[in-house]
Structure 1
Amino acid sequence: MLGGTFDPVHIGHLRSAIELRDALVLDRVHMVPARMPPHRATPGVDAEQRAIMLALGIADTPGLYVDDREIRREGPSYSTATLASLREELGPHARLVMALGYDAYLHLADWHEPQRLFELAHVVVVDRPDHRQPLPMALETLIAGRDVASVDALMQSPAGGLLHLSLPTRMAISATAIRERLQRGASVRYLLPEAVERYLLARRLYQ
Structure 2
Amino acid sequence: MAKIGIYGSSFDPITNVHLWTASTVAHRKKLDRVIFLPSSNKRIDKKTKTDDRHRVEMIKLAIQNNPKFELDTYELQVLPGKQYTYYTMEYFKNKDKGDEVFFIMGADLLVDIAAGKWRFAEELIARNQFIIMARNGVDMLGTIAHSALLRNYDDGRFQLLDKGLAMEISSTYIREELARGGEPRYLLPEECYRYIKEQGIYAESDRELE
Tell me which moved more, 12-21 or 108-117.
108-117
Structure 1 distance, partners of 2:162, 2:57, is 29
2:105 to 88, 100, 103: 100
Equivalent residue for 1:147? Answer: 154
Please say if 1:128 is aligned against 2:116.
no
Residues 35-184 of structure 1 aligned to structure 2 (within 5 Å): 35-36=40-41, 37-40=43-46, 42-75=47-80, 77-91=83-97, 93-108=98-113, 109-128=116-135, 130-132=137-139, 135=143, 140-147=147-154, 154=156, 161-184=157-180
Shift of 1:186: 0.8
**Does the 8 A contact of 1:33 with 1:51 survive in 2?**
yes
Structure 2 distance, partners of 1:168, 1:135, is 20
Aligned residues: 193
Please say if 1:12 is aligned against 2:8.
no
Equivalent residue for 1:157? Answer: none
Structure 2 distance, partners of 1:146, 1:68, is 30
The two structures, once aligned, show a CA RMSD in angstroms of 2.1
Unpaired runs of at least 5, structure 2:
1-5, 204-210
**Does the 8 A contact of 1:10 with 1:193 survive in 2?**
yes
**Does the 8 A contact of 1:33 with 1:70 survive in 2?**
yes
Structure 1 distance, partners of 2:179, 2:187, is 15
**Does the 8 A contact of 1:96 with 1:120 survive in 2?**
no
The SS at the match of 1:187 is: coil
Please say if 1:198 is aligned against 2:194.
yes
- Percent identical: 25
**Does the 8 A contact of 2:26 with 2:33 survive in 1?**
yes
**Does the 8 A contact of 1:97 with 1:121 survive in 2?**
yes
Unpaired runs of at least 5, structure 1:
149-153, 155-160
With the length of structure 1 as denominator, give the TM-score of the two structures.
0.85
The SS at the match of 1:96 is: strand
Q: Give the 3 Å change call, closer, same or farther, for CA 57–118 of structure 1 in structure 2.
A: same
With the length of structure 2 as denominator, give the TM-score of the two structures.
0.84
The SS at the match of 1:144 is: helix
Structure 1 distance, partners of 2:168, 2:105, is 16
